[in-house]
Structure 1
Amino acid sequence: MDERRLKYLIQEKKYVTLKKELEEMNEVDVAEILEDLDIHTALLIFRMLSKDLAVDVFAHFSVEQQRDIIGLVTDKELKHIVEELFFDDMVDIIEEMPANVVKKILLHAKEEERNLINEFLRYPIDSAGSIMTIEYVDLKKAMTVKEALEHIKKTGLNKETVYTCYVTDKNRKLEGIVSLRKLVISDEEKTIEDIMDRDVIYVHTHDDQETVASIFKRYGFLALPVVDKEDRLTGIITVDDIMDVIDQETTEDFQRMAAMSPTEEKYLDASIFSLAKHRIIWLLVLMISATLTGGIIMKYEKVLETVVVLTAFIPMLMDTGGNSGSQSSTLIIRGIALGEVELKDAGKVIWKEFRIAIIVGLALAVVNFFRIYFFDGVGVLISFTVTFTLFVTVVISKVVGCILPMIAKKLNIDPAIMAGPLITTIVDALSLVVYFSIASWLLNI
């Protein structure tokens, strides 16, 4: 349904037609449509939806829209939403809401749910425990396949997924898993113990969410069990939740690579002061660190006074060096994020980037020599000085560009920090030192 069609139905008060059309749409699309309306119109339409659809739509609203809706709906309406929301969605909402809204939500939650919510909120932020859900199907190994299918029919409606079931003992210790497909095709008289898979891949409640994301990507899971220190099943993480984590982590990496402090605010929703605050700190750091390059130029002032033409090639050398380093660092950071590059591969990575740098450096050096000598009309000795510096700069830049992210990983710092502007600043300083050292040596200055 397009926006004009929606406005027409609202203006003409054709609510029956409007409700019918919205009921046939996906809840994500309905939530997106209501987000663009003023809150009172959105609430009017929200109340027209069936109860089940309204809950699903509410779960896909932005935090701001959820807060506004909670502030306007009746206690009875809020009670239904709270009761029907999946547990992990409720925890996510509570984590984002101000205290007064949280109090209103918890007021309508059952005592057992309130206790569980408080337990979930104690997990470290960005940990597996903070993003898991308790809505999973658990089975006992003594059950027959027939009994298990009956159990799924009775309890599965309120679970986030039924495609994978988890086998636990009387102490909730995870013993195995069994897929719904295997249950359906197995003999009804067989026990769960006969058909379950004992080789279970799981994560612990305090594992970082990036670790969880890498396991999902590696194995292509739809859900992943989460256990505590004693291997008791605590919850599961579903693929839709981990997709949000992957988006969040990727956004943070891009922000760090662009020399900005990470923020979860949407660009259009954030104020100009908030956006400026996240950018200015890193820009100040980079600006102050850039004084290093100025100090290097001043140190070799005598060289520049003797051969003034050397000054003309400084921007080209610094830009090429910075770009070369950024190429390497970006590839290595991406490799680390995907699990393709590990710390034990440092030697292989450095050797590979060194050989790549030799090839790239030689190609750039040859082209640059002829350009400077024939087109710029500069002497052979100065052309060779600039060209040789360019070659050495490219080699150093690429090696440094691959080493720094791995050092950051070793120190448990986000490797994305070692990209873009920061690595360019480091390489710029190295390029100038190499340039003036080679010029001093070859030109006997």
Structure 2
Amino acid sequence: MFNGSGMLVQLIKPEFEELIQAKDWVGLKDVLSDVPPVDIADLLVELDGDIAVVIFRLLKKPIAADVFSYLPSNKGVELLELFNKQQLSDVMVNLEPDEQVALMEELPGHLTQRVMNSMNLEDQKQVKKLLGYPEDSIGRLMTPRYVRIKSDWTIERSMKHIRKYAEVAETLNRIYVVDDNEFLIDDLRLTEFILADPEDVVESIMDRSFEALMAYEDQEEAVKMFAKYDRVALPVVDTDGILVGIVTVDDIIDVAEEETTEDMQKMAGMDALDDYYSQTSIFGLVKKRIGWLIVLFVGQILTALTMSGYEEILKQIVLLSYFVPLLIASGGNSGSQAATLIIRALATDDIKSDGWRKVLSREVLSGLLLGTLLGILGFITLIAWGLIGGDPLNQELILKASVVGSSLLLIVLFGNITGAMLPFLLSKVGLDPAVSSAPFVATLVDVSGIIIYFSIAVFLLSGILL
């Protein structure tokens, strides 16, 4: 087998398309028998739904379900529309409960009941229970397919129980110990049972120390827990401590990717997409982007209005206008850097939402250092500019250079503080810190930067202004 999904797909794609063209379904079945489900899904994405449905019939039922789980949501919905009741049932019964829930969340209303009716009563009950948890909660991610035992069982009895339910369990990496009321009291590695004396009771290998997720917590908390404890699976309990399911690392990888993508899109000054970029319509893209563009446009109007208030100064000292883009861009860049650092630190729990005082002191100091360095560079740049333009090195040129240098210091400092504190402020009022995006910070700094710049100009150049 070849390593690398993209390479394998490219290698078999010509043969795959040729067999479809010839309607050689037997040959196609042989070709697909050794292809991983994720690669089969890649091959199906660009096919017409009718052809994709035929190919699904060639696959073994568990493989077909795996392939379906890897399809983009819009392609999955397209195929479900074409499946007959038996095909729907075959796919749904072989999906994990969390995958069934994820699919139901994506379905249009007219298809939801049809898919639900294709499932057996037990699966329907599980899906409805999981859908009862809040959207984006850990409860929506979990699966009830795990192995649990009692502390007073012997190791031998426990191993028989594990072997009995191993096939339906999503993972055997951890075995969960519960009491008579289903309260979670421990989770144990399978190797501990293998190494223990068969006559010993489970209690003898327990330490009653475990980490668990809460079903009603946000999915982001699960990402943090998996990263912190480096686990393949974690148990999920309700508010009373009763074991209700487990979450596995493959689901967390998907959540981490979604959360990172969402944060990146929000930091770019837009609403997060509901689907992959390639699966989002032009209208959908415009809808997600236009809101913040309007907000930022209004912000730039404020910038223009602020500059118009200093029209007389600009008429008298035209040189000052040349440095406006440099100054506000430096402040915006500094603010964007600070906002990005703090948003990421909050997301990874590197800093807590109540740690703003420490962050403020750090960003004031770093802002002063950055501003001083850029201020010196700006001072030297304007002096050189003037000398190259034929101006003498006199008090007026030095004052103009001082305006630029000191403005850079204060604007960069203000940008740093604004970018660092906005995530805390938004978090405090219950908003996602990621919305303190780079464009949003830059717009704030634009307006304040112009006020700082021209206020310093009026103060230092009052002697040469008419």
User: Does residue 381 of structure 2 align to residue 361 of structure 1?
Assistant: no
| % same residue | 35
Residue 318 of structure 1 deviates from its aligned partner by 0.7
What secondary structure, in the 3-state scheme, does the structure 1 residue paired with 2:247 have?
strand
The 5-angstrom pairing of residues 310-349 of structure 1 reads 310-349=320-359
Residue 51 of structure 1 deviates from its aligned partner by 2.0
User: Does residue 81 of structure 2 align to residue 81 of structure 1?
Assistant: no
Check the 8 A contact 2:74/2:279 in 1, yes or no: no
Partner of 2:215: 205
Partner of 1:405: 423
In structure 1, list runs of 5 or more residues that go unmatched: none
Q: Structure 1: how far apart are the matches of 2:380 and 2:94?
A: 73
Partner of 2:6: none
User: Does residue 51 of structure 2 align to residue 41 of structure 1?
Assistant: yes
**CA deviation map 1:383-417 (0-9, x unaligned):** 11111111111112112211111222222211111
AA at the equivalent of 2:400: I
Could you tell me the TM-score, scaled by structure 2's length? 0.91
Could you tell me the TM-score, scaled by structure 1's length? 0.95
AA at the equivalent of 2:211: I
User: Does residue 259 of structure 2 align to residue 259 of structure 1?
Assistant: no
What secondary structure, in the 3-state scheme, does the structure 2 residue paired with 1:2 have?
helix
In structure 2, list runs of 5 or more residues that go unmatched: 1-10, 392-396
Check the 8 A contact 1:369/1:387 in 2, yes or no: yes
Q: Structure 1: how far apart are the matches of 2:28 and 2:75?
A: 21
The 5-angstrom pairing of residues 89-128 of structure 1 reads 89-128=99-138
Check the 8 A contact 1:135/1:235 in 2, yes or no: yes
| Number of aligned positions between the proteins | 445
Check the 8 A contact 1:177/1:197 in 2, yes or no: no
What secondary structure, in the 3-state scheme, does the structure 1 residue paired with 2:431 have?
coil
1:284 paired residue among 287, 294, 301: 294
Check the 8 A contact 2:152/2:202 in 1, yes or no: yes
Check the 8 A contact 2:97/2:126 in 1, yes or no: no
Check the 8 A contact 1:168/1:174 in 2, yes or no: yes
AA at the equivalent of 2:431: I
Q: Structure 2: how far apart are the matches of 1:186 and 1:76?
A: 46
Residue 376 of structure 1 deviates from its aligned partner by 3.6
**CA deviation map 1:305-357 (0-9, x unaligned):** 33232111111111111111111111111111111121333222222222222
**CA deviation map 1:187-228 (0-9, x unaligned):** 222222221341121122211111111111111111111111
The 5-angstrom pairing of residues 41-440 of structure 1 reads 41-377=51-387, 379-440=397-458
The farther-off stretch of 8-17 and 46-55 is 8-17
Q: Structure 1: how far apart are the matches of 2:284 and 2:232?
A: 37
Residue 167 of structure 1 deviates from its aligned partner by 0.9
Q: Structure 2: how far apart are the matches of 1:116 and 1:7?
A: 39
AA at the equivalent of 2:415: S
What secondary structure, in the 3-state scheme, does the structure 1 residue paired with 2:15 have?
helix
The farther-off stretch of 339-348 and 205-214 is 339-348
Residue 422 of structure 1 deviates from its aligned partner by 0.5
Residue 12 of structure 1 deviates from its aligned partner by 4.1
Seen in structure 2, the aligned counterparts of structure 1 residues 20 and 149 have a Cα distance that, compared at 3 Å, is farther
Residue 124 of structure 1 deviates from its aligned partner by 1.0
Residue 170 of structure 1 deviates from its aligned partner by 2.0
Q: Structure 1: how far apart are the matches of 2:268 and 2:354?
A: 27
Residue 159 of structure 1 deviates from its aligned partner by 1.4
Q: Structure 2: how far apart are the matches of 1:74 and 1:432?
A: 65
Q: Structure 2: how far apart are the matches of 1:376 and 1:44?
A: 75
Check the 8 A contact 2:104/2:112 in 1, yes or no: yes
CA RMSD for the aligned pairs? Answer: 1.7
Check the 8 A contact 1:178/1:197 in 2, yes or no: no
Q: Structure 2: how far apart are the matches of 1:271 and 1:114?
A: 32
Q: Structure 2: how far apart are the matches of 1:39 and 1:197?
A: 54
What secondary structure, in the 3-state scheme, does the structure 2 residue paired with 1:234 have?
strand
AA at the equivalent of 1:413: L
The farther-off stretch of 276-285 and 264-273 is 264-273
Residue 302 of structure 1 deviates from its aligned partner by 3.0
Residue 112 of structure 1 deviates from its aligned partner by 3.0
